[in-house]
Chains A and B, each alone.
Chain A
């Protein structure tokens, strides 16, 4: 086992021990600070007795839809500059304006325009993805050395061909880190939207947290937070790292 992994595991074990020590000192009531085993029990019960598994699938479906729409739109809109500089300037301004708006502030708008179903949740996810993703794409495209684009143009590449032939491969590393940021933002946006809307057409993870909260089940809340973290870790190590290894690392763009 490599050293880094050892350090990471040791740190997690340290946190668990610290948690258990604090619990056993009974500084706070159990209702506020459950033991590690209570959280473990709640974790298992969430899948065996309650339907967290089904809710996760529903949330992930909404997340993937929102993430996909957000990434595609961010890419198309950010590529506008290859066609027209004025359009690009306008889009840049929009990114600066909208990236500042916290998702929660848009909830009243989402309710009024889209009701309280799946569309509203996807809207919130798209909002949380599209702006940071656009920033990464725009910055990535700007960082492409001029010589590359000149060569591309000399070879007769313009518009979409230039984007796909030169800009995209040359800025892949930044784009990829943009997707990582976008995914994290989408995940956060989704859970907050679900906590407000329930879960759209079916119940999602956000609903489950609210349900545990109203049942005063703090262990259940922590168990759900762990589920959220675990899904994040699976995506980070199981998907992103694998893609990274086979693309930017293999191509020698990063170490």
Chain B
């Protein structure tokens, strides 16, 4: 027995030694020499500023020195959160609720800038579903993820029109935007709560008969920020020059989108089953805008706390953002 106890202790010590040495190595690597950062985007035309930055090399230009920027596409905010926490992502881009949840849970990042306000829609391929109350218990609604931006916006609509924010939770099913689009066209799911351009792509598709549900326009104020980018605290604090370069690049990207809408649409159209002309039209929808300033973030947080999507909400916007970020 004594012998086995000793062996056990030895194994324990070896394990601890291996873990700690592996970790310290991980922390050291990447700090020396040239800069390298990793940024994600997701599938929506709301991520246009990032795609312009990527396509035009704006971060590289703003930084001046030697910097390698890695771009990855992710399909939902939970993946983005996990990638940042585990140190594999420096700049994460996602829907507002996911960023709020992440920051309030203690993730090592803050919102650095807003990306866009974009139209959302609840769509259906069943002619009898015209409003939320027509959705029956076995009609699934595809969303990108639980507790994501589409989920919370759907909950807002459910609260306003059905009296219960959680009324449609049992109907939810998780599909990335592109998969949800395919499932709607094939008829595999009857409803889809989705961000632009998929709402437009679905309603304008001639092979499928998909329509938008009537939702009171006041439920989702169109100017409210839908997507934001967060930056890890380590990047902000330890590599301020890179952080500044990202902000400069963003400003340039937003200007580019305003002055060169056709070219922006062309850059975006490569990722979708749509032409550049269509993308341009959808980007110029009155509910679509690109601005680093935040709008409606605190209102979103309040709603999440009220309906139990978030245990503890922020007291003020300063808990969620870095200094210098404007908006509410």
Contact = CB atoms under 8 A, between A and B. Distances in A.
A77 B151 CA distance: 44
B8 interface: yes
B151 to A, nearest CB: 9
Tell me the interface secondary structure of chain A in the complex.
loop
Nearest to A11: B8
Given A112-B186, A115-B140, A117-B140, A214 B170 contact: no
A116 B173 CA distance: 7
B12 A216 contact: no
Contact of B19 (A22, A30, A31): A22
Interface residues of B, number: 37
A111 B101 CA distance: 30
Contacts of A215: 101, 105, 147, 310
A21 B183 CA distance: 48
Interface string B102-134: 100111100000000000000000000000000
Contact of B107 (A25, A27, A216): A216
Given A31-B106, A199-B170, A214-B146, 17 more contacts: A18-B15, A29-B106, A29-B108, A32-B86, A111-B189, A115-B189, A116-B140, A116-B189, A117-B140, A196-B174, A197-B174, A201-B137, A210-B145, A213-B78, A215-B105, A215-B310, A216-B107
A207 B146 contact: yes
11 contacts: A14-B8, A18-B15, A25-B16, A29-B108, A111-B188, A111-B189, A117-B140, A203-B170, A210-B145, A214-B145, A216-B85
Interface string B1-41: 00000001000100110011001000000000000000000
A198 B141 CA distance: 11
Contacts of A217: 105
Interface of A: 14, 18, 21-22, 25, 27-32, 111-112, 115-117, 196-199, 201-203, 207, 210-211, 213-217
Interface in B156-200: 169-170, 172-174, 183, 186, 188-189
Contacts of A198: 140, 146, 170, 172-174
A207 B137 CA distance: 17
Nearest to A203: B170
Interface string B300-315: 0000000000100000
Nearest to B20: A27
Contact of A214 (B8, B147, B186): B147
B148 interface: yes
A30 B108 CA distance: 11
Nearest to B78: A214
Contacts of B15: 18
A199 B16 CA distance: 39
B97 to A, nearest CB: 9
